[in-house]
Amino acid sequence: MFQGVNASDGIGIGVAQVAVEPDLTFTPHAPEDTTAEKARYAAAIAKFVEQTNAQIERMSKTVGDDAAAIMGAHIEFAEDDGIKMMVNGSIESGMCAEQAVYDAYESYYVMFSQMEDELFRERAADVADVRTGLLADLLGKQVVDLSTLPENSIVVVHELTPSMTADIDKDNVAGIVTETGGRTSHSAIIARALEIPAVLSVADVTTAIKNGDTVVVDGTNGAVIANPNDAELSQYRNEAKKYAEEKAALEAYRGKETL
C-alpha cells in the first residue's frame, strides 16, 4: 500500500496507465535569424492559447465555468508582457527560443516555489505547465494525451498538470495517482470537479506501478493499492458501491429547499 495526499474523494478500481512525459531536452544554440526566432516563439504562444481556449470550452460543458476558468491562468502566463519581454530580450542577445523560454519560466517557477503561502506555491505547477506546452511546440514534441484512454484506466504520472487534467475523458478514467501535488493544486481542484478519485504526492509511484497492474485508488483516505489480493479487491469494491449509493442518496436533495 502507498500513502499520499487525499486530493479527490471516492474509490477507483482499474488498470494502470503509466503516462510517459515527453523528452524536452535540447541543445542551446545561437539563432541565425533573431527575427525568425522571435516569430517561432510568437507562433508557439498562439498555438498554446488556441489549445487552451479549446480546453476551456470543453471544460465549461463538462465541469462548469468555475473549474474551466482555472485554465485561464495558463493563458495569462503565456501572454504575460513581462515574460514575453524577457524571452524576446534573451533571443535578441543571441539565445535560441527554447533556452529563452526555459530560463524565463524557470525564474517564475522558482519564485512561486519559494513562497510561504501554499496557494502561491501551487501556482509554480501552472508556470511549469505553460513552459512544457511552449517547449513541446518549439521542439515538435507531443505532450501527454489523456483524452483517449481505455475504460477503467488508472492514470499514474509524475506530475498531473492542469492541461493534462483538462483533457481527461472522465468516463474512462477511474482514478488518478501522482508523485507530486497537493489538495490546493489546480489539478486537484479539476479532479474534484470531474469527480475522479485522486491521490497525489505518492513517492516513486511511476516506477513502483507498471502498465497493466490492477490498482485501487482510495481518494478519501489517500491510499493506493497495487495488485490487491482477492480480499482487498472485494473490500474496496464493497466500499466503492457504498460510496456510490451514499452519493446517489445525497443527490436526491440537490436543489431542494432547506427546512
pLDDT at 60 over 90: no
Q: Which phi and psi (to 5°) does residue 191 adopt?
A: -60, -40
| Res 10: pLDDT | 95
Cell of 31: 539563432
Same fold for the pair 2-20+145-251 and 34-139: no
Q: What is the pTM of this model?
A: 0.77
**Under 8 Å between Cβ of 158 and 180:** yes
**Residue 252 pLDDT:** 67
> Looking at domain 34-139, what is its CATH homologous superfamily?
PtsI, HPr-binding domain (1.10.274.10)
Res 98: pLDDT: 98
Q: How many CA atoms lie within 13 A of 59 on its CB side?
A: 28
- Residues 89-133: tens digit of each pLDDT: 999 999 999 999 999 999 999 999 999 887 788 788 889 999 999
177 three-class SS: strand
The residue ranges of every structural domain in the chain are: 2-20+145-251, 34-139
Given a cut of 90, whether residue 170 has pLDDT beyond it is no
Give percent above pLDDT 90 in the chain. Answer: 64
CA 53 to chain centroid, in Å, comes to 16
H or E element that contains 187: helix 186-194
Residues constituting the chain: 259
146-160: pLDDT as tens digits: 888 999 999 999 988
* Predicted pLDDT at 21: 84
Residue 106 or residue 243, greater confidence: 106
Q: Is the pLDDT of residue 251 over 80?
A: no
C-alpha cell at 45: 504562444
Grouping H, G, I as helix, E, B as strand and the rest as coil, residue 149 is coil
In this predicted structure, the answer to whether residue 259 has a pLDDT above a threshold of 70 is no
What is the distance between the alpha carbons of residues 257 and 259, in angstroms, rounded to a whole number?
Answer: 6
Q: Which CATH class is domain 2-20+145-251?
A: alpha beta
If DSSP codes are grouped into helix, strand and coil, which group holds residue 179? coil
Res 76 pLDDT > 60: yes
Identify the residue whose cell numbers are 512561486. Answer: 112
